[in-house]
Amino acid sequence: MALTSDLLRGNTEMIILAKLYDRESYGYEIGKMIQEKSGGRLELKEATLYGAFRRLEEDGCIVSFWGNETTGARRRYYNITPKGRLEFDRSLREWQEAKNLIDALVITEKRGEAT
Amino acid sequence: MALTSDLLRGNTEMIILAKLYDRESYGYEIGKMIQEKSGGRLELKEATLYGAFRRLEEDGCIVSFWGNETTGARRRYYNITPKGRLEFDRSLREWQEAKNLIDALVITEKRGEAT
DNA sequence: TTATATACCTTGACAGACGAGGTATCTCGT
DNA sequence: ACGAGATACCTCGTCTGTCAAGGTATATAA
């Protein structure tokens, strides 16, 4: 069963930027990669994905262009910008901090925990 | 500077249940504990806190009662229920899973990472 | 020709976080 | 006596990200 949307919230843009960090890609592929890498337990729905692309492009974190496919459905490709890399680095640090803070609040010695 | 609300979203109820897991408490105290334990970097705003209390009580995860303070402002105390403990355990497992999945998606060998 | 996969997009509803506002009691300094 | 600040509760309306549901179009396999 999939994870609740609320735990994803605030992380979708970071996840997208991570996928674009090393090479360009397009929406459908990114969505599929996330599904596969998480064993189907995590899914960015299309509406969520495209909403995030729009925000990221408005913020100057990514740029998009239509691919010149000669066959099959057309694709809109995305590239990360320098600003996008900075934003990814920042959001990754914030995520690490949030993780540790939340863990510190919910994990006690008595109950213990395994990661 | 504080963490973005979206990273908190979906975790506020778990954090509250964690605080109530071992002993009863009241809203103001829980808010203060979270602020202090996180060194001020994480804050559950009052509106957020009381909204979460209402949902948790509606769901049967906590019960509330007015304290019999003879001095000072009155307090509404909360106790966790057996259902609340189950719900906490469930949400903690879900949180651990979400953490690991998101980390796997954003942390690559090349970039590396420290917790 | 029908179904499935690929690939894009938009609209409206929903829910949780929060800013801003309110009430009331007690203590401390002036 | 008075005002400021801490304690302690609450509500309303706004904002924003997620998603369900719907749509378009092309290629391939049954």
Q: How confident is the model at residue B68 (pLDDT cuts 50, 70, 90)?
A: confident
Question: A115 pLDDT exceeds 60?
Answer: no
For chain B, the residues whose C-beta falls within 8 A of a C-beta of chain A are 3-11, 14-15, 18-19, 21-22, 34, 37-38, 41-42, 92, 94-102, 104-108, 110-111, 113-115
- Position B70 scores a pLDDT of 84
Q: Could you give phi then psi for residue B66, rounded to 5 degrees?
A: -80, 130
Length of chain A: 115
- Position A1 scores a pLDDT of 55
- pTM for this model (two decimals): 0.91
Beta carbon pairs, A and B, within 8 Å: 109
Please list every residue in chain A whose beta carbon sits closer than 8 Å to the beta carbon of residue B97.
3, 41
Q: How do strand B62-66 and strand B76-80 relate by DSSP bridges?
A: antiparallel
Interatomic CA distance for residues A60 and A54, integer angstroms: 10
- pLDDT per position as a tens digit, A50-107: 999 999 999 999 999 999 888 888 999 999 999 999 999 999 999 999 999 999 999 8
Q: DSSP 3-state assignment of B98?
A: helix
Please provide the average confidence, as pLDDT, over all residues in chain B.
91
Taking a C-beta distance cutoff of 8 angstroms, is the pair B59, B17 a contact? no
- Position B3 scores a pLDDT of 80
